[in-house]
């Protein structure tokens, strides 16, 4: 009998790990704090390295079909909208053996949930973990759930991470407004050629989801502090227009669309790198719980998926759970630390003081850094 595995957190990382571990024959019990399984109403980019992870659990084509595979992307100037840098994306399947996909998070989560369910994962929502002892999770209602191994996939505010450090996540000096808006005739060209408008201390990202019926918008801005209660708050009318005054017509069209839809302001919080991801031999962290990063390389969810697959592979070949978790940490930590650091550096590159200089020297981005080449299905463990 394989060791039983308890996963705290049913987000992208936890759900992928649950599916992969159950497919490998482990009895898996997943605890999710929210009253029902689901994801926030926003988009996510899945680069080819993430899609290989989804291929490992048999979900690649379902995700690609539910998402949008862009042909190209571009970086544009904030003031006049001119193209500073263009990227080919339509060749991702031939170049990397896996597609590059934009998808609504709810659609991705449905597919992961189905994969976990089909693999036989015991799924329990409305089960917030408030503490843990050994490999036992303690829920808010006082009940204790035991297993042989405990995985903390419970995100930025992870309860399991308290076993590693007592510090809370920190504010990174960035805020983001997020909205998903109907695709209109005005917005269609922005969906057909998705990308980012960059300017000093600010940027706007847009891409299509739901078969291009919706446009996902994220407005980033630097901020000295986050004085508000809570990390996600409804945006005030006019906030975006004031923050992006003087930006080009396309930016103003995206602002008008976001202002007309429900949109929220997010504090971008992150974690510092931990010395270890395993504690007491049989407790480990995964995804944002281990390495929450700024979103400026679009690799947080990709890293969580990679973690999940490498964890399942490591556990499947290890003689003991302890050896499996250590092998997982050894295989994953350096890459996650690297991406975490590069994500921060990319914020400075994209939002530099002199936008006219952008792209003139060799660009360091998720593709040129070689992040797309990583294959979590075969990487050495
Ligand atoms: C603006 C923005 C844009 C981004 N865009 C991208 C992108 O394009 N591509 C990309 O790869 N990444 C992106 N990311 C990063 C990505 O969203 C995260 O890295 C990813 O969601 C992490 O997945 P996770 O499963 O580790 O954590 P989460 O998604 O945070 O999931 C954690 C789960 O655990 C549950 N939970 C929390 N606490 C408990 C508890 N105590 N007990 C039980 N359950 C609990 C939560 O309800 C949740 O379901 C972006 C992030 C931001 C902020």
pLDDT in the model for residue 48: 98
**What are the phi and psi torsion angles at 318 (to 5°)?**
-80, 150
Marked catalytic residue, from 96, 100, 102, 207: 207
The structure tokens listed for 92 are 């991702």
Digitized pLDDT (tens) for each residue of the chain, 381 residues in all? 899 999 999 999 999 999 999 999 999 999 999 999 998 889 999 999 999 999 999 999 999 999 999 999 999 999 999 999 999 999 999 999 999 999 999 999 999 999 999 999 999 999 999 999 999 999 999 999 999 999 999 999 999 999 999 999 999 999 999 999 999 999 999 999 999 999 999 999 999 999 999 999 999 999 999 988 788 999 999 999 999 999 999 999 999 999 999 899 999 999 999 999 999 999 999 999 999 999 999 999 999 999 999 999 999 999 999 999 999 999 999 999 999 999 988 988 899 888 988 877 778 889 989 999 999 999 999
User: Which of 34, 23, 281 shows the shortest CA–CA distance to 140?
Assistant: 34
CA distances from 190 to 10, 47, 250, 267, 318 (A): 32, 20, 8, 26, 48
Measured in Å, residue 356 CA sits from the centre of ligand 1 at 34
pLDDT in the model for residue 329: 98
pLDDT in the model for residue 364: 86
pLDDT in the model for residue 358: 81
Ligand 1 atom nearest residue 10's Cα? 49
Q: Is the CB of 208 under 6 A from ligand 1?
A: no
From CA 295, how far away is CA 310, in angstroms rounded? 22
From CA 131, how far away is CA 129, in angstroms rounded? 6
Mutate to test the pocket of ligand 1, among 100, 154, 292, 305 (most ligand atoms within 8 A of CB): 154
Cβ–Cβ under 8 Å, residues 47 and 375:
no
Measured in Å, residue 12 CA sits from the centre of ligand 1 at 7
From CA 121, how far away is CA 26, in angstroms rounded? 9
Q: What domains are there in the chain, each with its CATH number?
A: 5-68+105-168+271-349 (3.50.50.60)
User: Which of 343, 211, 346, 190 shows the shortest CA–CA distance to 255?
Assistant: 190
Instruction: Indicate the pTM of the whole model.
Output: 0.97
From CA 237, how far away is CA 370, in angstroms rounded? 41
pLDDT in the model for residue 196: 97
pLDDT in the model for residue 55: 98
Instruction: Residue 1: count other Cβ atoms within 10 Å of its Cβ.
Output: 7
For residue 17, how far is the Cα from the chain centroid? 14
From CA 152, how far away is CA 289, in angstroms rounded? 7
From CA 146, how far away is CA 327, in angstroms rounded? 23
């Amino acid at each position: 009998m394989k060791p039983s595995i308890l996963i705290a957190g049913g987000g992208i990382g936890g759900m992928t790990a649950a599916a992969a571990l159950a497919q490998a024959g482990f009895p898996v019990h997943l605890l999710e704090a929210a009253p029902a399984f689901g994801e926030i109403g926003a988009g996510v980019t899945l680069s080819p390295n993430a899609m290989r992870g989804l291929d490992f659990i048999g979900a690649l084509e379902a995700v690609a079909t539910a998402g949008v595979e862009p042909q190209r992307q571009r970086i544009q100037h904030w003031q006049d909208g001119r193209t500073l840098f263009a990227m080919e994306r339509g060749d991702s399947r031939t170049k990397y053996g896996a597609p590059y996909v934009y998808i609504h998070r709810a659609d991705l989560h449905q597919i992961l949930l189905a994969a976990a369910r089909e693999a036989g994962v015991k799924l329990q929502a409305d089960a917030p973990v408030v503490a843990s002892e050994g490999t036992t999770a303690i829920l808010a209602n006082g009940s204790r759930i035991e297993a042989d191994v405990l995985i903390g996939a419970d995100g930025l505010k992870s309860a399991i991470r308290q076993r590693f450090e007592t510090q809370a996540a920190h504010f990174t000096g960035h805020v983001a407004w997020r909205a998903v808006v109907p695709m209109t005739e005005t917005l269609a060209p922005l969906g057909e050629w998705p990308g980012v408008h960059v300017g000093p201390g600010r940027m706007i990202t847009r891409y299509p989801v739901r078969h291009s019926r919706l446009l996902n918008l994220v407005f980033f801005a630097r901020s000295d502090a986050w004085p508000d209660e809570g990390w996600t708050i409804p945006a005030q009318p006019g906030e975006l227009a004031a923050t992006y005054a003087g930006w080009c017509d396309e930016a103003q069209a995206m602002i008008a669309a976001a202002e007309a839809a429900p949109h929220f302001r997010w504090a971008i919080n992150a974690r510092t790198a931990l010395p270890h991801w395993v504690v007491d031999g049989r407790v480990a962290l995964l995804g944002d719980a281990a390495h929450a990063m700024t979103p400026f390389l679009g690799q947080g969810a990709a890293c969580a998926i990679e973690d999940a697959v490498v964890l399942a592979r490591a556990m499947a070949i290890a003689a003991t759970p302890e050896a499996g978790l250590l092998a997982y940490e050894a295989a994953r930590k350096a890459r996650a630390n690297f991406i975490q650091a590069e994500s921060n550096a990319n914020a400075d590159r994209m939002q530099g003081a002199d936008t006219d200089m952008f792209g003139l020297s060799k660009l360091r981005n998720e593709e040129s850094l070689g992040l797309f080449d990583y294959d979590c299905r075969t990487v050495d463990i």
